[in-house]
A and B are shown apart, each in its own frame.
Chain A
Amino acid sequence: MYLFLAFLFLEATVRIFHLHNDSPDWYLDENKMYKRVPNQEGHAVFGNRRQQFSPFRINAAGYNSYREFEPTEDGVEVAILGDSFIEGLHQDYRNSIGRKVERGLSNVHIYEYGHSDFDLADQMYLVHTNKEEFEKVDFIIYELKYYNDLLRSEYSVKPRKVVFPLLRHSKLLVYLLDIGMIDPVKRILRKLSIGQKPRKDIEDNLTKDLIFMDNFIKLNSKYGLEKDKTAILLDTRQTNKAFLDYLEKHGIHTIDYGRGFEKSTNKPTTLIYDQHWNDHGRNLVANEIISFFKKNQLLE
């Protein structure tokens, strides 16, 4: 009886003080791509005691943004594609990287196509299947984390599994999952191969680099990158030199945020309770994008 009452008390506390993280729902669209269900709102919460609390808003296109994506022939629009760092559920959507870039460049609309776990295959496939929309966009930036985002040479649907889907109706359990209290159970389930299968890691670095390069070439030939209106946002410190040379040789622009991060030794660039960029980190990334456009005068 006490246990049940304690559960109710904690469930109510978590709900009243909104200690739990809201996670917008997914759906599979007609192109067999997972997207967020449009027009959802909620709050991203990090830390046991709501140390970080920021609103998100999923627009009609299914992305977290304060803008609706309506590219025009006349206006100047830039699309930034990427993973959860671009999706930015951990930040106030009104102060996202895109918003920061807009403030630094006049009369430019930034569309952030970010979804968690979105690798380069996802990003390029999205552009490929929405050609008309992206043709109207003046410039496309792909965010690439070298060691995560080049594992595939073509797009296929990655099932998005929700851990303990039924239990997620309880905000207390969502909260406990988020703060890591249920990690030992998850670890054991993983060991017993219930739920996610462990990803096979490629041990050898040289093999890894060759595979990544090959995947990039295949993706490029399959979905095509328009060199003149494309840049890759990456951290050169975390990217293979041969790959960077390849991009340079083939005239593909790169925007490196690694140098800015390296200089910022006194100020952390990531959040405390989460590995995503904090406001300072996002400023650094946005500044690199702004400098890139100003320096290369690509939007004029």
Chain B
Amino acid sequence: MLFNSFEFFVFLPIVFLAYWFITFKSLRVQNALIVTASYAFYGWWDWRFLSLIVFSTLIDYVVGLALEKESGLGRRKLLLWFSLAANLGFLGFFKYYNFFVDSFVEAFSFFGGEISGRSLNIILPVGISFYTFQTLSYTLDIYKRKLEPTKDFMAFAAFVSFFPQLVAGPIERATNLLPQISKKRVFSYEQASSGLKLIIWGLFKKVAIADSLAPIVDDIFLNAQDYPSSTLVLGAVFFGFQIYGDFSGYSDIAIGTAKLFGIELMSNFKFPYFSRNIAEFWRTWHISLSTWFRDYIYIPLGGSRTTKKLVIRNIFIIFLVSGLWHGANWTFVIWGGIHALLFIPLFLFNNNRKYIENPVGANNRFPSLRDLLNITTTFGLVTLSWIFFRAESLAHSFTYLGRLFSDLSFKEYVHPLGYRMIDYFILLIFFIIYEYIIRKDERKPFNFKHKTTRFLMYALVVLGIVLFYDSGVDRSFIYFQF
């Protein structure tokens, strides 16, 4: 079920009313409702893959309890490996089997060998990368004795399957979400109201920004070989906004929906396009994933507290793995590699933590010229890397880049269906300015003192959704495929 679908529009109020008015007396029943609703939400797409979630839930619940009882390191390791093998096994099979088989066959034939590998016709279960990482974090935290396992199976099942963030995150940590699920929730008008505001803002990002730009981006990427560099720049920039609108929009709706149920999810985006270097970008883009990699891969590998050589290796590992996490395609690996290459100089010159304390315009109304230059440069680099992210294959990305830098000419872009381009420029300018205005708190997109201003903003955002709603586009979220 999509957040931006009519089904969800009906589903959400029903679950909300049942949650606060029917099941509120018993925490167990309320959690059972979360599990039922979440399974219905997921099963709406394909009920067969519910078995994977159920299986993953059972394994990590049992392994968690066993890890607590077990004191011997060897047996604890064995239990951990069992959980890792089961969870990553599913992920590996459904997401990476064909990729590795094809890559292996290609590599073999490159060196003159002949080998036949059989690709399988596998459907990638929606959200598998997200809930797998979420359950893994639970087991890993128990293994590291940072967390006590829950004995309440229903609460654990609700933690794994909590529908607002089940299919595309934020990837929650058990330390944050499980305690909230394990204790009685009390309805708060303020929390629900701020949840609704986030939902509206998320819908705006998804419908008005991402979905409206999608047909233009699709056309430019599909026909990259026929367009001059000016159009290819436009395509890459628009894709940057499309993916940001799509994914951060999803996250906002997820966080907002969770708020309606009295649950606070972690923030996933903090205005990443106002970043002044790549390190800041990664602190503000898909935060739940980058912190996951930091906590469960980077730090266990030694993090930054080791030799420079090893730190560089660690940086490469997390960025490459992050790329591969996004999709079973070399384009994602290259995308990750580019970000590693952009990050390493910052680390070497000790600039990677430069902007932690002072986000852009923290003390001033406007950014300084230097900040503006850095923001533009960072955005340009990120946009270039998006070409690999969006391209269908490496050959496609090199064609795109090749033309981008060889056919240096300007020609007005005309979409085959004749979309009026000026509308999109105005939309994006409005969006950037608005994001800058609200930059201090990503969870309060309508934080204005005056009632009139607040109302005007609600109305304008809803108007934006209506004006740019396109009934003809595929409305699913890009990150569902990861």
Contacts and interface: CB of A to CB of B under 8 A. Distances in A.
Contacts of B418: 268, 272
B66 interface: no
Contacts of A268: 416-418
A13 B463 CA distance: 9
A48 B468 contact: yes
A180 B7 CA distance: 16
A49 interface: yes
Contacts of B472: 180
Contacts of B423: 49
A185 B468 CA distance: 19
A5 interface: yes
Interface string B439-482: 00000000000000001001100110011111110000000000
Interface in A212-259: none
Contacts of B469: 48, 179-181
B48 interface: no
B6 A176 contact: no
Interface string A43-60: 000001101000000000
Most chain B beta-carbon neighbours within 10 Å: one of A2, A5, A10: A2
A2 B5 contact: no
Interface in B409-435: 416-420, 423
Nearest to B415: A272
Interface residues of A, number: 20
Contact of B6 (A5, A9, A175, A188): A188
On chain B, which size bracket covers the interface? 20 to 34
A179 B6 contact: no
Nearest to B462: A6
B458 A2 contact: yes
Nearest to B416: A268
A184 interface: yes
Given A48-B469, A183-B471, A5 B417 contact: no
Contacts of B5: 184
B420 A49 contact: yes
A261 B32 CA distance: 60
A10 B462 contact: yes
Interface string A163-181: 0000000000001100111
Given A6-B462, A185-B6, A180 B420 contact: no
A6 B472 CA distance: 26
Given A49-B423, A179-B471, A272 B6 contact: no
A181 B471 contact: yes
Contact of B466 (A5, A181, A183, A185): A181
Nearest to B5: A184
Contacts of A51: 420
Interface in B287-322: none
Contacts of B467: 48-49
B443 to A, nearest CB: 19
Contacts of A9: 459, 463
Nearest to B417: A272
Contact of A10 (B416, B455, B459): B459
Interface in B219-254: none
Contacts of A48: 466-470
A222 B220 CA distance: 55
Contacts of A185: 6
A2 B5 CA distance: 23
Contacts of A176: 466
B455 A2 contact: yes
Nearest to B200: A6
B458 A6 contact: yes
28 contacts: A2-B455, A2-B458, A5-B455, A5-B459, A6-B459, A9-B459, A10-B463, A10-B466, A13-B463, A48-B467, A49-B423, A49-B467, A49-B468, A51-B420, A175-B466, A179-B466, A179-B469, A179-B471, A180-B471, A181-B466, A183-B471, A184-B6, A184-B7, A188-B6, A268-B416, A268-B417, A268-B418, A272-B419
Nearest 6 A/B pairs, CB to CB: A180-B471, A184-B6, A9-B459, A272-B418, A272-B417, A48-B467
